[in-house]
Amino acid sequence: MSCTLGAPLSQAGGITIAGLDLARPLPPVLREQIRAALRDHHVLVFPNQTLSREDQFAFTANFGAVEHHGGRSGQTKRYAAAHVITNLDDKGNPVDRSASPVSNYHWHTDKPYYPMPPMLTALYAVEVPPLGGDTEFANTALGYAALPEAAKQRIEGLRVVFYWGAGARRSETNARTPAELREHPGVDHPLVRTHPETGRKALYLGNHASHILGMPEPEGSTLLDTLLEHTTRPQFVYAHRWHAGDLVMWDNRCLLHRAVANYEMGRDRRIMHRSVVRGTVPV
Ligand code: OGA
Ligand code: MN
């Protein structure tokens, strides 16, 4: 197997890697090429894949320890090899939640409330709407680099408290039970983290960010909101338009992402399989 890198998909990141069958064992040399592409382009698009959930699990396991899903306790497939992200209800009917979107529809990074948050996430499109249903990625290293020097100095050394459910303020469907909050009590991480492979600084924030450690809550919230708005400006964003069979893998250490409700959520089916690879303690 060999692979071909396409042209960059945007200034913010993204590249297509064609010619690979991810269901087959990955030779170490290809694994290293993929690692390097992820480091350089942050979002990798592997089109035309046919993957079982076990295949997806095995592919992502090439890059580190695959996390078990610790999501909503009601979810039946909780500890499956790759778990399901969908707009379908238990009976398989599409549900329009656009009035109160679940947390995936707000800018976020995956599981920042873990002491060792995931380095990467892989999302495989099983079924996608004919129109829309995009995923957007915002490059927080570019966002950091573009900050005025005074802002960089102001935020240097600050720590953000993340907890599972911090975003519930914005989304009633996501309110956590006391038991869920006990399961994930929250952690603090640097607001400016250094990417372990590129050495570049990036903002670390998003929907699960609660407040800034040691700062009055309103001031911390305003700062987080301002930085979020800054780093999600269009020039820092790559929007992925899905085709069924795409596997997209992204670097959670220098990106925010969100699902976009730009489709007929109450009519069209959107089914994705997701797996997440553990990273290191952010510094
Ligand atoms: C995720 C996620 C967005 C989407 O899987 O972590 O945020 O577009 N998904 O489904
Ligand atoms: Mn996510």
- Cβ(211)–Cβ(221) below 8 Å: yes
Domain annotation covers residue 75: yes
Pocket of ligand 1 (CB under 6 A): 85, 104, 110, 121, 123, 135, 257, 259, 272, 274
d(CA 123, CA 85): 9
Whose C-alpha lies nearest to ligand 1, atom 4?
Answer: 259
For ligand 2, the distance from its centroid to the CA atom of residue 121, given in whole angstroms, is 8
pLDDT at res. 70: 55
Q: Work out the average pLDDT over 102-112.
A: 92
pLDDT in tens, 120-148: 999 999 999 999 999 999 999 999 999 99
Of 196, 214, 231, the one marking the end of a domain is 231
Cα 160 to middle of ligand 1, angstroms: 22
Compute, in angstroms, the gap from residue 272 CA to the centroid of ligand 2: 12
Return the pLDDT at 124.
98
Average pLDDT over residues 88-94: 93
Q: Whose CA is nearest to atom 3 of ligand 1?
A: 259
Clarify whether residues 117 and 150 are in a common domain.
Answer: no
H, E, C per residue of the chain = CCCEECCCCCCCCCEEEECCCCCCCCCHHHHHHHHHHHHHHCEEEECCCCCCHHHHHHHHHHHCCECCCCCCCCCCCCCCCCEEEECECCCCCECCCCCCCCHHHCCECCCCCCCCCEEEEEEEEEECCCCCCCEEEEEHHHHHHCCCHHHHHHHCCCEEEECCCHHHHHCHHHCCCHHHHHHCCCEEEECEEECCCCCCEEECCCCCEEEECCCCHHHHHHHHHHHHHHHCCHHHEEEECCCCCCEEEEECCCEEEEECCCCCCCCCCCEEEEEEEECCCCC
User: Do 182 and 58 lie in a common domain?
Assistant: no
Atom 7 of ligand 1, nearest CA residue: 104
CA of 80 to the centre of ligand 1 (A): 17
Q: In the block, which residue shows the tokens 């009976």?
A: 91
- Note down the domain range covering 201: 140-231
Partners of 18 in beta bridges: 4
Asked if residue 94 and residue 34 are part of one domain, the reply reads yes
pLDDT at 74: 47
CATH of the domain at 78: 3.60.130.10
The ligand with the least distance to the CA atom of 134 is 1
Task: Return d(Cα 120, Cα 143) in angstroms, integer.
Answer: 19
Instruction: Name the residue of 104, 208, 247, 258 whose CB sits within 8 Å of the most ligand 1 atoms, as the mutation to test its pocket.
Output: 104
The residue whose two tokens read 């596997």 is 247
Q: Which ligand is nearest to the CA of 69?
A: 1
> Position of tokens 């382009």?
41
pLDDT of residue 180: 72
User: What is the 259 CA–ligand 1 centroid distance (Å)?
Assistant: 6
pLDDT band at 102 (very low <50, low <70, confident <90, very high): confident
Average pLDDT over residues 202-217: 94
Question: Are 118 and 72 contained in the same domain?
Answer: yes
Q: How far is the CA of 124 from the centre of ligand 1 (A)?
A: 10
Task: Report whether 277 contacts 66 (CB < 8 A).
Answer: yes
Probe ligand 1: pick from 77, 257, 273, max atoms within 8 Å of CB? Answer: 257
Is pLDDT at 186 greater than 90 in this prediction? Answer: no
Q: Does 93 map to a domain?
A: yes
d(CA 74, CA 85): 14
Instruction: Label residue 177 by pLDDT band (50, 70, 90).
Output: confident
Say if residue 160 is in the same domain as residue 122.
Answer: no
**Those residues with Cβ within 8 angstroms of residue 158's Cβ, 6 or more apart along the chain or in another chain:** 190, 191, 192, 212, 213, 215
Q: For atom 2 of ligand 1, which residue has the closest CA?
A: 104
Indicate if 127 and 157 belong to the same structural domain: no
Give the pLDDT confidence score for residue 73 in this predicted structure: 47
Q: Record the tokens describing residue 144, joined without a space.
A: 């950091």
How far apart CA 271 and CA 126 sit, in angstroms, is 5
- Going by C-alpha positions, the residue among 184, 178, 179 that lies closest to residue 164 is 184
Q: 147 and 117 share a domain? A: no
- Of 192, 194, 242, the closest CA to residue 9 belongs to 242
Q: Are residues 122 and 254 in the same domain?
A: yes
Q: Whose CA is nearest to atom 10 of ligand 1?
A: 259
* Ligand 1 center–CA 282 separation, angstroms: 21
Number of compact structural domains in the chain: 2
The answer to whether position 21 is within a domain reads: yes
Looking at the structure, tell me whether residues 195 and 247 fall in a common domain.
no
Q: Do residues 161 and 251 share a domain?
A: no
Distance 148 CA to ligand 1 centre (A): 31
**For the residues 184-213, what does the mean pLDDT come to?**
94
Q: Residue 75, Cβ neighbours under 10 Å: how many? A: 13
Is there a domain that residue 283 lies in? no
Which residue of 109, 258, 269, 277 sits with most ligand 1 atoms within 8 Å of its CB, as the best mutation to test the pocket? 258
Residue in 229, 200, 224, 199 with CA at minimum distance from that of residue 213: 224
